[in-house]
Chain A
Amino acid sequence: MTERLIRILQASDLETETEVNVLVVGNDADVAELSLEGIARIELNFPKFSDGRAYSQAYLLRRRRKFAGDIRATGDVLVDQLVQMQRTGFSSAVLKEGKDVADAQRQFERYSAFYQGDVVVHEPLFARS
Chain B
Amino acid sequence: MYQYTEFDRQFVRARAAQFRDQLERWQAGKLTDEELRPLRLQNGWYIQRYAPMARISVPYGELSSAQLRVLARVAREYDQPDAALLAEAQEKQLALGPVPVPGTNRQVVTKLTFGYGHFTTRTNVQFNWIPITRAAEVMELLADVNMHGIQTSGNAIRNITTEELAGIAVDEIADPRPFAEIIRQWAALHPEFVFLPRKFKIALNGAREDRAATGWYDISLQAVKNEQGELGFKVLVGGGMGRTPVIATVVSAFVPWQHVLSYLEACIRVYNQYGRRDNVWKARIKILVKAEGQRYIDKVEEEFRQIVEIDGAPHTITQAEYDRIAAQFVAPQVGRPQRDAAAARVHEIIRADAEADPLFDRWLQRNVLPHRNPELRAVLLSFKRLGQNPGDCTADQFDACADLAERFSAGEARVTHEQNLLLPWVHQDDLPELWAAARKLGLARPNIGLITDMIACPGGDFCSLANARSLPIAEAITERFQDLDEEHDIGEIDLNFSGCINSCGHHHAGHIGILGVDKDGKEWYQITLGGSNGSDLSGPATPGKVVGPSFAKEEVPGVIEALIDTYRQLRQPAADGKFEPFIATLKRVGHEPFKAAANAARFVEKEIA
Residues of A within 8 A of B (CB): 30, 49-53, 55-57, 59, 63-64, 78-80, 83-84, 87-88, 99-100, 103, 106-107, 110-118, 122-127
Contacts and interface: CB of A to CB of B under 8 A. Distances in A.
Interface string B312-353: 101100101100100000000000000000000000000000
Interface of B: 7, 10-11, 14, 17-18, 21-22, 25, 30-31, 35, 38-39, 155, 185-186, 188-196, 261, 269, 272-273, 277, 306, 310-312, 314-315, 318, 320-321, 324
A125 B314 contact: no
Contacts, number: 100
A64 B18 CA distance: 32
Contacts of B186: 115-116, 124
B63 to A, nearest CB: 22
A74 to B, nearest CB: 16
Nearest to B18: A110
A52 B35 contact: no
Given A52-B194, A110-B21, A112-B14, 9 more contacts: A51-B277, A55-B191, A56-B273, A57-B273, A78-B35, A110-B18, A116-B190, A124-B261, A127-B314
Nearest to B42: A80
A28 B370 CA distance: 52
Contacts of B38: 49-50
Given A56-B192, A125-B7, A80 B321 contact: no
Contact of B273 (A53, A78, A110, A115): A53
Given A55-B272, A110-B17, A116-B186, A126 B318 contact: yes
B423 to A, nearest CB: 30
B192 A52 contact: yes
Nearest to B277: A51
A112 B18 CA distance: 13
A26 to B, nearest CB: 12
A8 B190 CA distance: 21
30 contacts: A49-B35, A49-B195, A52-B196, A52-B272, A53-B272, A53-B273, A53-B277, A55-B272, A59-B192, A59-B269, A63-B310, A80-B39, A84-B189, A88-B191, A88-B192, A107-B18, A110-B17, A111-B14, A111-B189, A112-B10, A112-B14, A115-B185, A115-B186, A115-B188, A116-B189, A116-B315, A117-B315, A125-B185, A126-B324, A127-B314
Contacts of A55: 191-193, 195, 272
Given A53-B272, A80-B22, A115-B188, A103 B194 contact: no
Q: Which of A51, A84, A115 has the most CB of B within 10 A?
A: A115
A55 B192 CA distance: 5
Contacts of B7: 112-113, 125
Contacts of B196: 52
B155 A124 contact: no
A106 B18 CA distance: 10
B195 A103 contact: no
Contact of A123 (B11, B191, B310, B314): B314
Nearest to B190: A116
A63 B269 CA distance: 14
Contact of B21 (A51, A106, A113, A118): A106
Contacts of A57: 273
A87 B194 CA distance: 13
B194 A84 contact: yes
Contacts of A50: 38, 155, 195
B57 to A, nearest CB: 15
Given A110-B17, A114-B189, A51 B195 contact: yes
A64 B306 contact: yes
B18 to A, nearest CB: 6
B191 A115 contact: no
Contact of A100 (B30, B194, B314): B30
